[in-house]
Chain A
Amino acid sequence: MNRSLGTYSLALIVAAASLTQRAGAQAVLDVPVTLSGAEGERRIDGLAQPTQASSLITLEGAAQGAYQWGTAQASAGAITLALSPPIVTYRDGLLVRFLAPADLDGALTVNVNGLGALPLKRPDGLNPVRGQLRQGTVCEALHVDGRFVLMSAAERGCPPNSIYVNERYCIDSLSTNNQLFYTGVSFCANRGGRLCTWDEYHAACAFLGTQLGGMFNQWEWIDDTSNHSQTADQAGRTTCLSQRSAGNPLVTTGDTRCCYHPR
């Protein structure tokens, strides 16, 4: 007992309450502990950084946000996150924070402490779109009902690797090669964009010129269609004015260059 300092060691608590003290020098209490002293006496000091999920946290750790913070790694859309001390199980309300380890979008998963990969979704249920998880940005994800919901990483401006054409839309600076029309439609939608309309494509081509890479190498899909045999249209093969109906969209390929509404 260190009564002169007005504190009790845990050993004294053990002795006082006739509680068990295991061989490993661990005091085990099977009843609640209430600090019943005056205002300045109701403290627990000397806590080390917690080692278990059920450990009492320290003020320092709480102030630092240390318990939600983890180091993330990503591979092919799978984000792995290590929290210390490790979590024991996923539960609703679990909040984790990490730095995006890369520019990520699409069908992503988060796996915390090896408990299993869960989908990472936006609050509106969509997959994160291009520009929403940029490398080095802080991401905050909250677990609800078997998924993680991205609470931060708001979109801003044009997505990475796209360029403002005007204040209303952005366009990819490079195209993606050899896709079917239907693949291109989904490719852009999953990135948070869409195929450009013909006038958007032409205006971008005319306004941005050499800022757009890979132009005039291949036909590129636009969100337009042509004749009665269910075809889709392409543009930009040799000039900004080039346009054609591409034939059977189940077999004809083209390059894909998406447009986006900036946020």
Chain B
Amino acid sequence: MAAVLFAAKAVAQLDAPVPVQLVGASPADRQVTGLADPLSPAAGVSVDAARANAVSFAQATGTSVMSATLIPAPAQYVAGMTVSIVPQEANLAGALINLNGLGPVPMLKHGNLPLDSADLVPGAPHRLIFDGSAFQVIGSVYRPCPAGYRIGAREYCIEEFSHDSLTFVQAGTFCQSGGARLCTFGEWLHACLSTPAFIGTVLNFEWVDHAANNGDNAKRVGRGSNGNTPEDSGIGCTNGHTASPGAFTRFRCCITR
């Protein structure tokens, strides 16, 4: 009888046509273990697969339409469906997402706002929940740094490279015209001291947004003296100098995040 009811098919699969009841006396005897990651939507899920979001975690490629493949493939988008994606590239403004070829749908932030460009950070995970018509990004969406800038700290972005020399006033105007400003002394210093590669981008003096009490001077950093060394000791994060605002000097811009 049992042989009739439980047929080990040719594909080596055990069929159980009725419910399975675990009746062991102790919790240890009422376990189903050794589960691999599920391969179909009706499969059971192990602790490990549940913790690791094995069925809802994927890398995403693309910029205007981000594509990702979940395993097993979902049959459709369903309200409440939660996925975690890791973009391989920064998204473009208004980016859509397409899971397993089910069709592109919008990604929204703060409830109903389309994504700005680079809202999704490459290499970082982002969690999305389908609301019935779009995927809403949940959690923190940090203000990204524009192209050409890097994160200096929580409060600001700083340009990766300095610009050709201008006067202090021209440099400030240049940054403002681009929606930015000259960096402060502290911002420039932190970026330089906290990122080893930064000093390699310092080619000469750079303006920062500070005056100096030496006549009508403005502050320059990245070259000069650190207070202990001679007046011009070359390039260094803690080196600085002042100069007339009319002196042509390199500079880089900062943006408040």
- A residues at B contact (CB < 8 Å): 1-2, 6-10, 12-13, 15-17, 25, 29, 31-37, 41-57, 62, 67-68, 83, 85, 87-88, 91-96, 122-126, 129, 140, 142, 144-145, 149, 151-152, 154-155, 182, 185-186, 188-190, 192-195, 197, 223-232, 245, 247-251, 260-261
Considering the complex of A and B, which 9 residue pairs feature the smallest CB-CB distances, nearest first? A48-B27, A93-B57, A16-B2, A16-B6, A46-B22, A248-B227, A56-B32, A223-B186, A230-B240
> CB-CB < 8 A to B50: which residues of A?
57, 62, 67-68
Inter-subunit contact A182/B224 (CB<8 Å): no
A72 to B205, CA, bound (A): 48
Q: Which residues of B contact A (CB under 8 A)?
A: 1-3, 5-6, 8, 12-24, 26-36, 44-48, 50-54, 56-57, 84, 86, 121, 123-127, 139-140, 142, 144, 151-156, 184-187, 189-190, 193-194, 208, 210, 212-214, 217, 219, 224-228, 231, 238-242, 256
A50 to B35, CA, bound (A): 12
Q: CB within 8 A of B185: which of A122, A232, A251? A: A232
CB-based contact B189/A182 at 8 Å: yes
CB distance from B242 to the nearest CB of A (A): 5
CB of A48 to closest CB in B, whole Å? 3
Instruction: List, in ascending order, chain A residues with CB within 8 A of B213's CB.
Output: 226-227, 245
If A2-B21, A144-B86, A194-B187 touch, whether A8 touches B52 (CB-CB below 8 Å) is no
Residue of A53, A140, A247 with highest tally of chain B CB at under 10 A: A53
Residues A54 and B16 in contact, CB atoms below 8 Å apart: no
Give the chain B neighbours of A194 by CB distance below 8 A. Answer: 153, 155-156, 184, 186-187
The residues of A that contact B28 with a CB separation of less than 8 Å are 48, 51
Q: Other than the known A57-B50, A93-B57, A189-B155, what 5 A-B pairs have Cβ atoms closer than 8 Å?
A: A7-B21, A46-B23, A48-B28, A55-B47, A151-B127
Contacts of A155 in B (CB 8 A): 140
A240 → chain B closest CB, angstroms? 20
CA of A41 to CA of B226, assembled, Å: 79
Do B140 and A192 touch across chains, with their CB atoms under 8 A apart?
no
Q: Among A92, A195, A250, which residue has its beta carbon within 8 angstroms of that of B227? A: A250
B241 near A29 with CB under 8 A, answer: no
Q: Contact at B31–A47, with CB atoms within 8 Å?
A: yes
For chains A and B in complex, what number of residue pairs have CB atoms within 8 angstroms?
297
Please state if A151 and B125 are interface contacts (CB–CB under 8 Å): yes
Question: In the complex, are the beta carbons of A227 and B242 less than 8 A apart?
Answer: yes
B112 vs chain A, min Cβ distance (A): 18
Q: A31 to B7, alpha carbons, bound, how many Å?
A: 12
Please give, as numbers and ranges, the residues of chain A lying within 8 Å of B240 by CB-CB distance: 225, 230
Closest residue on chain B to residue A94 by CB atoms: B52
Q: Are B46 and A54 in contact (CB under 8 A)?
A: yes
Q: Do B32 and A44 touch (CB < 8 A)? A: yes
B20 to chain A, nearest CB (A): 5
Cβ–Cβ contact B27 & A250, under 8 A: no
Residue of A nearest to B1 (CB): A1
A261-B256 contact in complex given A54-B47, A225-B240, C-beta closer than 8 Å: yes
Closest to A145 in B: B123
**Residue from the list A7, A13, A224 in contact with B210, Cβ < 8 A:** A224
Cα distance A153–B116 in the bound complex, in angstroms: 22
Contact check, B125 vs A142: say whether CB atoms are below 8 A apart. Answer: yes
- Inter-subunit contact B154/A95 (CB<8 Å): no
Q: Which of B20, B127, B190 contacts A8 (CB 8 A)?
A: B20
